[in-house]
């Protein structure tokens, strides 16, 4: 039986809680939009720019090399709604590209509020969960950057809400809606599928709800989710199942098909790196709170089925990536992010119980720690959005630029990878203008890796199509290899002049009549942040060395 959390120390009406939560959610959205509209210092990340390239009308497809199609269609929607306004008021498309992230972040917070009320019947606790979520850089920054995690976490949050409604309230209409949300989430990120076995484990190990495993509601949800995934399956069937090989390669289970290297070896420190990364991601404190809350609510000790539902929709995702960490060397920090959504609700409830402790010093210590780390979270969030404020201080800590360490600030500022792309595009545009005047036609733009063409396309004047020649430069294959490109279609580019970013000059000289290279450096507060090599390559010979046409992707 579901039991409400005690709220004797905080008495607010349902109406006030909902009003305050709405103000927090809408206020956060307005702040994010204002940040993006007011000369945002952070350019699109390489991932964002790459997905923007997918979203061009001529590139919209059923699926893509490494991800499902949802991210491309959301960005296309953002650009259709606000693209012209974004360019007119900010000079580029970044606001329009990131607009869906703001919407997804707001919907995610709303789902956490609803989920908390469903499980604990406590509007005050739901308000507190929303407030805590806003102090977590993990969630706050996710509402500013349009990566696949924005729609993925949003879908996971609402799947939790609909799953709870279907299981605990017996609402038959919730099952097909749950399947739809799960399917849409899989179109964003494939790990959405982990929701299904996690929920099945909860049903299997909870006698009261075990019969639902054998009723049609659950299987309707699974079938609907499967139907939503048909675009991914159809596209992969037409392209040699390349996405599956890519995912298996990332998981360390096999070769990606991108290189000749064997599967990854065992990394014995991988589990420690994984745990350390998760601890850092949650500022240490919140990871400990989550871990303690999970231990306190573990099956066998916790008897409230609603709480166990939260537990089972958190633990498997975390444990899955922990199990793979020896093969992935810890993996990316954001991989198990959805474990902390229901986990945040559990953590909030556990913290609330600590304030009912009879020991005054314990309650005071809990309040102080909570206040300190909420404040630190807000400070970290501001830093992630405006790290340039601290550059004078960071430059003293990081030291001066040297040949061995040309960009010392990158050790302390993860947003450096989002800076300088407009500087690069400006220099490329100067070269484009000069070469167009000299030769009478536009040069071809290319990058030495998959991460460069999108940045050139989104920030260069007129949004030219740029290409990736990464496979001949040692980079992995990407979606660019499935579009018309100078690697597979060299004859169509023969005789043209290329501007290549970060290309290997020795290899370029084997493919062009002449190559001239210059360096572009981006600085902020007189500190070097990024640099690129621009190679002007004249008279393409029609093929690149060491490239096997029609090779495996």
Instruction: Report pLDDT for 255.
Output: 54
Q: Distance between CA 497 and CA 439 in Å, rounded?
A: 9
Instruction: Report pLDDT for 248.
Output: 81
Instruction: Report pLDDT for 474.
Output: 87
Residues 445 and 524 in one domain: yes
Residues 427 and 536 in one domain: yes
Q: Distance between CA 506 and CA 65 in Å, rounded?
A: 29
Residues 352 and 426 in one domain: no
Residues 427 and 530 in one domain: yes
Q: Per the domain annotation, does 142 fall within a domain? A: no
Which band of pLDDT confidence, cut at 50, 70 and 90, is reported for residue 5? low
Q: Per the domain annotation, does 494 fall within a domain? A: yes
Q: Per the domain annotation, does 6 fall within a domain? A: no
Residues 351 and 428 in one domain: no
pLDDT in tens, 367-422: 999 999 999 999 999 999 999 988 988 888 988 888 888 999 998 999 999 999 99
- Cβ atoms of 124 and 12 within 8 Å: the answer is yes
Residue 260 has pLDDT above 80, yes or no: no
Residues 344 and 433 in one domain: no
Q: Per the domain annotation, does 57 fall within a domain? A: no
Q: For residue 527, which phi and psi values (nearest 5 degrees)?
A: -110, 135
Q: Distance between CA 483 and CA 37 in Å, rounded?
A: 33
**Going edge to edge, which strands form the sheet with 444-447?**
466-468, 444-447, 498-501, 527-540, 512-524
Number of domains in the chain: 2
Count CB neighbours of 34 within 10 A. Answer: 10
Which band of pLDDT confidence, cut at 50, 70 and 90, is reported for residue 258? very low
Q: Per the domain annotation, does 47 fall within a domain? A: no
- Residue finishing a domain among 356, 386, 402: 356
- Residue finishing a domain among 338, 356, 374: 356
- Residue finishing a domain among 316, 333, 356: 356
Residue 145 has pLDDT above 60, yes or no: yes
Q: Per the domain annotation, does 298 fall within a domain? A: yes
Question: Average pLDDT for residues 207-211, to the nearest whole number?
Answer: 96
Q: Distance between CA 493 and CA 487 in Å, rounded?
A: 9
Residues 260 and 342 in one domain: yes
| pTM of this structure | 0.93
Please give the distance of CA 387 from its chain centroid, rounded to a whole number.
20
Residues 347 and 423 in one domain: no
Question: Average pLDDT for residues 279-290, to the nearest whole number?
Answer: 95
Instruction: Report pLDDT for 3.
Output: 47
User: Whole domain around residue 326: which residue ranges?
Assistant: 249-356
Helix (H, G, I), strand (E, B) or coil at 402: coil
Q: Per the domain annotation, does 121 fall within a domain? A: no
DSSP conformational letter for 44: P
Q: Per the domain annotation, does 290 fall within a domain? A: yes
DSSP string, 477-521: P-GGGGSS-TTTTGGGGTT--EEEES--HHHHHTTEEEEEEEEEE
Instruction: Report pLDDT for 328.
Output: 87
């Amino acid at each position: 039986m579901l039991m409400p959390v005690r709220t004797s120390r905080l008495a607010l009406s349902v109406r006030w809680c909902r009003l305050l939560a709405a103000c927090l959610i809408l206020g956060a959205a307005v702040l994010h939009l204002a940040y993006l509209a007011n000369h945002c210092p952070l350019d699109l990340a390489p991932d964002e720019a790459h997905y923007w390239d997918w979203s061009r009308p001529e590139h919209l497809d059923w699926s893509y090399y490494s991800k499902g199609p949802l991210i491309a269609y959301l960005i296309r929607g953002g650009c259709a709604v606000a693209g012209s306004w974004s360019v007119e008021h900010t000079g580029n498309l970044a606001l329009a590209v990131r607009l869906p992230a703001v919407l997804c972040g707001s919907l995610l917070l709303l789902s956490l509020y609803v989920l908390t009320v469903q499980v604990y019947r406590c509007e005050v606790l739901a308000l507190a969960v929303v407030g805590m979520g806003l102090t977590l850089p993990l969630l706050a920054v996710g509402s500013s950057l349009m990566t696949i995690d924005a729609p993925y976490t949003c879908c996971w949050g609402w799947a939790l809400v609909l799953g709870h409604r279907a299981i605990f309230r017996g609402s038959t209409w919730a099952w097909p809606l749950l399947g739809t949300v799960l399917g849409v989430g899989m179109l964003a990120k494939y790990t959405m599928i982990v929701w299904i076995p996690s929920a099945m484990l909860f049903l299997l190990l909870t006698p009261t709800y075990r019969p639902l495993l054998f009723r049609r509601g659950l299987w309707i949800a699974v079938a609907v989710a499967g139907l939503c995934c048909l675009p991914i399956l159809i596209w992969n069937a037409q392209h040699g199942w390349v996405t599956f090989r890519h995912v298996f390669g990332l998981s360390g289970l096999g070769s990606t098909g991108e290189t000749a290297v064997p599967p990854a070896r065992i990394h014995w420190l991988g589990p420690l790196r994984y745990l350390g990364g998760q601890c850092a991601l949650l500022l240490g404190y919140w990871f400990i709170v989550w871990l303690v809350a999970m231990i306190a609510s573990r099956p066998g000790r916790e008897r409230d089925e609603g709480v166990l539902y939260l537990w089972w929709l958190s633990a498997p995702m975390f444990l899955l990536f922990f199990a793979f960490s020896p093969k992935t060397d810890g993996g990316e920090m954001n991989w198990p992010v959805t474990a902390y959504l229901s986990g945040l609700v559990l953590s909030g409830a556990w913290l609330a119980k600590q304030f009912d402790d009879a020991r005054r010093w314990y309650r005071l210590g809990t309040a102080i720690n909570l206040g300190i780390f909420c404040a630190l979270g807000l400070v970290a969030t501001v830093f992630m959005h405006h790290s340039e404020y601290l550059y004078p201080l960071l430059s003293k800590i990081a030291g001066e630029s040297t040949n061995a360490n040309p960009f010392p600030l990158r050790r302390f500022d993860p947003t450096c990878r989002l800076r300088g792309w407009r500087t690069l595009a400006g220099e490329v545009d100067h070269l484009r203008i000069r070469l167009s005047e000299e030769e009478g036609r536009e040069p071809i733009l290319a990058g030495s890796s998959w991460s460069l063409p999108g940045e050139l396309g989104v920030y260069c004047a007129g949004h030219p199509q740029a290409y990736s020649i990464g496979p001949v430069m040692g980079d992995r294959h990407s979606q660019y290899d499935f579009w018309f490109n100078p690697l597979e279609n060299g004859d169509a580019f023969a005789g043209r002049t290329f501007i290549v970013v970060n290309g290997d000059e020795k290899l370029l000289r084997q493919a062009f009549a002449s190559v001239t290279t210059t360096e572009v450096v981006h600085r902020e507060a007189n500190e070097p942040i990024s640099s690129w090599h621009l190679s002007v390559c004249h008279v393409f010979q029609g093929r690149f060395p060491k490239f096997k046409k029609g090779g495996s992707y």
